[in-house]
Amino acid sequence: MQKTSLALFTTASLLLGSFAAQATMLSGFGGDAGYGELAMDRNDDGSSNQLDLPFEINYFGNSYDQFFINNNGNITFESSLSGYTPISFPIAEQPIIAPFWADVDTGCDSCGEVYVGSPSDGVVAVTWNNVGYYDENSDKSNSFQAVLIDRSDTGAGNFDVEFRYDKLEWTTGDASDGENGLGGTPAQAGYDAGDGENFFALPGSFSEDILDLVSSSNTGEDGVWRFAIREGALPGATPENPIMPVVVDGGWSFDFNVNANEQVFIDPDVAVGYDYIVDQGPNIRTVTLPIGFDDDMFFIWLWNGVEWEQVANVAAGTAYDFGIDGVDRFRVTGIDISNEVDPTDTTAFVTGLTFTEDGNVTMRQLPIVEFVPGPGASVPEPSTWLLVLVAVVLLLGSRKRSKSAPSTLLPA
pLDDT: is 390 or 53 the higher one? 53
Residue 108, judged by CB atoms within 10 A of its CB (0-12, 13-18, 19+), counts as middle
In angstroms, the CA 344 to CA 225 distance is: 17
pLDDT exceeding 70 applies to what percent of the chain? 71
**Phi, psi (rounded to 5 degrees) for 294:** 55, -120
Is the pLDDT reported for residue 109 higher than 80? yes
Output the CA angle 18-235-153, nearest 5 degrees.
Answer: 45
Exposure pattern of 146-176 as b/e (b: 16+ CB <10 Å)?
A: bbbbbbeeeeebbbbbbbbbbbbbbbbbbbb
Q: How confident is the model at residue 273 (pLDDT cuts 50, 70, 90)?
A: confident
Q: What pLDDT shows up at residue 341?
A: 66
List residues bridging with 313 in a β-sheet. Answer: 299
Residue range 358-370: average pLDDT?
Answer: 69
Q: Under a CB-based contact definition with an 8 Å cutoff, are residues 124 and 118 in contact? A: yes
Average pLDDT over residues 226-235: 81
Q: Is the pLDDT of residue 389 over 50?
A: no
Q: Which residues pair with 154 in a beta bridge?
A: none
* Average pLDDT of the segment spanning 334-363: 73
What pLDDT score does 259 carry? 64
The Cα 213–Cα 164 span in angstroms is 9
Report pLDDT digits (tens) over 283-333: 999 999 888 887 889 999 999 999 999 999 999 999 999 999 999 999 998
Which pLDDT band holds residue 261 (cuts at 50, 70, 90)? confident
291 and 316 in contact (C-beta within 8 Å)? yes
Q: What is the pLDDT of residue 382?
A: 29
Average pLDDT over every residue of 61-89: 96
Lowest mean pLDDT among 23-32, 44-53, 69-78: 23-32
Least confident of 51-55, 193-197, 321-325: 193-197
Percent of the chain with pLDDT over 90: 52
The answer to whether residue 412 scores a pLDDT higher than 60 is no
C-alpha atoms less than 13 angstroms from C-alpha of 264 in its C-beta half-sphere? 28
Stretch 373-381: mean pLDDT, rounded? Answer: 34
Question: Which is higher by pLDDT, 381 or 328?
Answer: 328
Pick the more confident residue, 260 or 361: 260
| pLDDT at 220 (0 to 100) | 74
Comparing 258 with 161, which gets the higher pLDDT?
161
138-160 pLDDT, tens digit per residue, is 999 999 999 999 999 999 999 99
277, 366 contact by CB (below 8 A)? yes
Q: Is the pLDDT of residue 175 over 80?
A: yes
Displacement of CA 406 from its chain's centroid (Å): 12
Binning pLDDT at 50, 70 and 90, where does residue 281 land? confident
Question: What pLDDT is attached to residue 44?
Answer: 96
| Domain map (residue ranges) of the chain | 3-232, 264-385
- Rounded to whole angstroms, the Cα distance separating 72 from 60 reads 23
Distance of CA 265 to CAs 203, 236, 326, 354, Å? 20, 5, 18, 9
Burial profile 48-71: b = 16 or more Cβ within 10 angstroms, e = fewer: bebbbbbbebbbbeeeeebbbbbb
Q: What is the pLDDT of residue 51?
A: 96
Q: Note the pLDDT tens digit of each residue in 110-142.
A: 999 999 998 788 999 999 999 999 999 999 999
Residue 365: HSE in the Cβ half-sphere, 13 Å Cα cutoff:
27
DSSP 292-344: -STTSEEEEEEE-SSSEEEEEEEETTSEEE--TT-BSEEEEE---GGG---TT
Stretch 349-360: mean pLDDT: 82
Contact 225, 409 (CB under 8 A): no
278-282: average pLDDT? 79
Using pLDDT thresholds of 50, 70 and 90, give the confidence band for residue 240. Answer: low
- Where does residue 78 fall: left (phi above 0), alpha (psi -120 to 50 degrees), or beta otherwise? alpha
CATH class, domain 264-385, is mainly beta
CB 408 within 8 A of CB 243: yes
220: nearest Cα among 4, 24, 22:
24
Least confident of 111-120, 185-194, 359-368: 359-368
- pLDDT at position 21 is 39
- 332 and 299 in contact (C-beta within 8 Å)? yes
Task: Identify the residue with better confidence: 9 or 267.
Answer: 267
Q: How far apart are CA 59 and CA 76, in angstroms?
A: 11
